[in-house]
Chain A
Amino acid sequence: RKEVEQDPGPFNVPEGATVAFNCTYSNSASQSFFWYRQDCRKEPKLLMSVYSSGNEDGRFTAQLNRASQYISLLIRDSKLSDSATYLCVVNNQAGTALIFGKGTTLSVSS
């Protein structure tokens, strides 16, 4: 099982749609979880941390299920500018580094 697995997509949705991305991780000892966004040929940018109780930031909602080792990201009311690759990130066993998934590509069209 890969350390961090994501559905690569692409997800093609119209503006205004709600879209959800899923991610599973293999290390049950992981303590830190993040979603990053990466635009084409650019560096990743932190979108949001993921907390055990779930958290929301505007149109973005992140959920964590430790029992299932599953993380999700929900985007409501998609905008054209949301088109990017979304990276699921967890820390490694030692807690010293972050492990990145391959990313899920989202394309929002008008």
Chain B
Amino acid sequence: GAVVSQHPSWVICKSGTSVKIECRSLDFQATTMFWYRQFPKQSLMLMATSNEGSKATYEQGVEKDKFLINHASLTLSTLTVTSAHPEDSSFYICSASRGSNQPQHFGDGTRLSIL
């Protein structure tokens, strides 16, 4: 099956720190990668969609300067939470897809806690 690796799995940082999360598709080339955020007992909320080699498309209400996404290759996308604050604490999950309308395969998620 498709394997997507996400790193790190847990981060605890001081307020003001920038945090970088990596998402890798290990056994397939991911045309598109997605970044989600999930607050406790809430549904997954799509933050942005990134296609390899092009700028990410951000959902309404998501600050692109706050959440920097880079999708430099077909197997790697990164999300950088810049100058993180306690309200950014959440479960961030990436997913990768072979193409539109194909199932998405999720990474293990990153639990981010900002003190």
Given contacts A42-B108, A102-B42, contact A97 B49 (CB under 8 A): yes
Given contacts A100-B43, A103-B43, contact A42 B103 (CB under 8 A): no
Given contacts A42-B109, A43-B93, A97-B34, contact A102 B104 (CB under 8 A): no
Q: What 4 A-B pairs are tightest by C-beta distance, nearest first? A: A102-B43, A43-B106, A32-B101, A100-B44
Give Cα A54–Cα B70 distance, bound, in whole angstroms: 38
Q: How many interface residues does A have (CB within 8 Å)?
A: 21
Contact bitstring B80-115, A, C-beta under 8 A = 1, else 0: 000000000001010000001111111111010000
Q: How many interface residues does B have (CB within 8 Å)?
A: 22
B109 touches A43 (CB 8 A): yes
Q: Report chain A residues within 8 Å CB of B6.
A: 43
Q: Which of A49, A87, A97, A102 contacts B103 (CB 8 A)?
A: A49
B43 touches A31 (CB 8 A): no
Q: Using a CB–CB distance below 8 Å, which chain B residues touch chain A?
A: 6, 32, 34, 42-44, 46, 49, 57, 91, 93, 100-109, 111
Q: Report chain A residues within 8 Å CB of B44.
A: 44, 87, 100
Query: Can you name 7 A-B pairs with beta carbons within 8 Å?
Result: A43-B107, A43-B108, A44-B93, A91-B100, A97-B34, A98-B46, A102-B42
- The A13-68 residues at the B interface (CB cut-off 8 A) are 31-32, 34, 41-46, 49
Q: Report chain A residues within 8 Å CB of B34.
A: 97-98
Q: Report chain A residues within 8 Å CB of B108.
A: 42-43
**Chain A, residue nearest B104 (CB):** A98
Give Cα A34–Cα B106 distance, bound, in whole angstroms: 14
